[in-house]
């Protein structure tokens, strides 16, 4: 009696039936993405909201880096002066660790700044202005005398930079007024109507969708009211103390 035929096995002990399920010799096995340190790659979640502690660590790290750059110090130099490793300082600057009060004290000594300076930007107010359609705050400006209607749509909270967005409406009761002049820059975006807008010795035809950006210390303003009513956005930016 003949013995049942067995599956031939190659060195390694794998039977033919097992080999049939293996990938072809030219195929590559899928591999997990790796990060620079050899571990699995870390993907940033765009919907992730950082915790308050994480934001604080990042804010402290930014301030440390700014002060270091102002003194022209390298990471190694500051680390040596603050009695810590360069690796630890790098983690602090990148917001990857929460430094102790003792560590912050050493950094403040090395950077010649008070400890509280590391928290200044974190403690600044962060807010937003929300305005429903038609509910902008009516404001009187120089053009009000010429029948220009201004609605303030928000204001900035920065101590250094002032930003004033307005919705300006010109009607049949409005008059031309090409002599506005103030500090900073201004951006216009036409929403409705047609206006010949003068800036210096040039006049630009503004139609819906057109925009104009200019230095605001040059005389400017609507010179030709071609199609009314006309509405456009005006965003004025200047450094506080200039106005």
- The third-level CATH classification (topology) of the domain covering 52-123 is 434 Repressor (Amino-terminal Domain) (1.10.260)
Distance CA 56, CA 119 (A): 8
Q: Which CATH code for domain 137-239?
A: 2.60.120.10
Q: Domain locations in the chain?
A: 52-123, 137-239
pTM of the model: 0.52
How many helices (H) and strands (E) in the chain?
6, 9
Sign of the alpha-carbon dihedral angle for 116, 50, 46, 162 = negative
Would you state the pLDDT for residue 159?
62
In 3D space, the residue among 3, 124, 15 whose CA is nearest the CA of residue 63 turns out to be 124
Distance CA 117, CA 214 (A): 36
* 3-state DSSP assignment of residue 88: helix
Would you state the pLDDT for residue 202?
96
Task: Please report the beta strands in the chain, taking only residues with DSSP state E, as ranges in sequence order.
Answer: 9-10, 14-15, 137-139, 149-152, 161-170, 185-199, 202-206, 211-215, 220-239
CB under 8 Å, gap of 24 or more: what pairs does 148-156 form?
148/174, 148/177, 148/222, 153/129, 153/233, 154/129, 155/129
**DSSP code, position 30:** P
Tens digit of each residue's pLDDT (9 = 90 or more) over 156-172: 766 678 889 999 999 98
Strands 220-239 and 202-206, bridge-based pairing:
unpaired
Would you state the pLDDT for residue 239?
87
Return all residues near 106 (Cβ < 8 A) that are at least 6 apart: 82, 83, 84
pLDDT tens, residue order, the chain (243 aa): 445 455 444 444 444 443 444 444 444 444 444 444 444 444 545 544 455 567 788 889 999 999 999 999 999 999 999 999 999 999 999 989 989 888 998 999 999 998 888 887 765 556 677 888 888 888 777 666 667 888 989 877 666 788 899 999 999 888 888 888 999 999 999 999 999 999 999 999 999 999 999 999 999 999 999 999 999 999 999 987 644
With beta carbons less than 8 A apart as the criterion, state whether 58 and 93 touch. Answer: no
Would you state the pLDDT for residue 72?
94
Distance CA 107, CA 104 (A): 5
């Amino acid at each position: 009696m003949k013995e049942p035929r067995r599956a031939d096995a190659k060195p390694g002990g794998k039977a033919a039936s097992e080999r049939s399920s293996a990938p072809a010799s030219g195929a590559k096995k899928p591999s997990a993405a790796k990060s620079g340190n050899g571990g699995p790659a870390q993907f940033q979640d765009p919907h992730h909201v950082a915790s308050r502690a994480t934001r604080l660590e990042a804010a402290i790290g930014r301030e440390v880096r700014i002060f270091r750059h102002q003194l022209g110090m390298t990471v190694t130099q500051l680390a040596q002066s603050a009695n810590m490793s360069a690796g630890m300082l790098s983690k602090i600057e990148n917001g990857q660790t929460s430094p102790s009060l003792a560590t912050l004290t050493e950094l403040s000594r090395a950077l010649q700044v008070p400890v509280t300076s590391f928290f200044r930007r974190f403690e600044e107010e962060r807010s937003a202005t929300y305005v429903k359609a038609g509910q902008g705050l009516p404001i009187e400006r120089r053009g009000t005398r010429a029948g220009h209607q201004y609605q303030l749509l928000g204001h900035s909270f920065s101590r250094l930079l002032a930003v004033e967005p307005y919705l300006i409406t010109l009607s049949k009761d409005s008059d031309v007024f090409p002599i506005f002049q103030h500090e900073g820059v201004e951006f216009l975006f036409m929403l409705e109507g047609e206006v010949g807008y003068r800036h210096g010795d040039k006049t630009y035809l503004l139609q819906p969708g057109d925009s104009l950006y200019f230095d605001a210390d040059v005389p400017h303003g609507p010179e030709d009211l071609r199609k009314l009513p006309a509405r456009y956005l005006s965003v004025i930016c200047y450094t506080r103390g200039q106005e």
